[in-house]
Amino acid sequence: MTRISDLGKNLEKLPDLFLEYNEALKDIDSILLIKGKSIKDANRDAQEQYFYDQKRVELKSIVDFLEMRIKSIRSKLFRSLTEHNPRELTERSKERYIDSEPEFLEAQQIYFEMKELYEKYLSINESFKARGYAMNNITKAIIASVEDVEL
């Protein structure tokens, strides 16, 4: 299920979603940490990867939606400048005016905040992959050391 419908008609629920996703990040350091854990516990923590990957996918759809919204705002402002401006502006001039419009800047800021959050979840998933390789290497090293034991 997509989270886009949870944003609200005018993105009024976006701050709550932002807090929800940030809250889910609070324990990630202890989850990713291997040091001081048994192999069994460290492998059990790896099951959390699914949760964080699902959150990443949800955030990706929100970021894509916000990007689409920015394009829509840009288009609306461009059309307004073209149709209601008493003097003819170059396309570059229109783009510069649009880049300074409060509505556009606000949408851009929201987009960047959600994009940053998405990037954090992307980084977490990459960390889980690296952690998996480390766990695999540790397990192989333990098995190799057991094989070297003489009876």
Instruction: Grade residue 120 by pLDDT with cuts at 50, 70 and 90.
Output: very high
Query: How many separate domains does the chain show?
Result: 1
Residue 114 has pLDDT above 70, yes or no: yes
Tokens in use for 101?
Answer: 């419009």
Mean of all residue pLDDT scores within the chain: 89
The more confidently predicted of residues 112 and 5 is 112
Relative orientation angle of helices 14-23 and 102-147, to the nearest 10 degrees: 20
Residue 148 has pLDDT above 70, yes or no: no
Reported as a single tens digit per residue, the pLDDT across 36-95 is 888 888 877 778 899 999 999 999 999 999 999 999 999 999 998 888 877 788 888 888
Domain interval for residue 105: 16-146
Residue 3 is assigned to a structural domain of this protein = no
Q: What is the pLDDT of residue 151?
A: 53
Q: What is the pLDDT of residue 127?
A: 92
Residue 96 is assigned to a structural domain of this protein = yes
Residue environment code for 31-59, b if the CB has 16+ CB neighbours within 10 A, otherwise e:
bbeeeeeeeeebeebeeebeebeebbebb
What SS3 class is residue 81?
A: helix
CA dist 64 and 96 (Å) reads 23
CA dist 82 and 98 (Å) reads 11
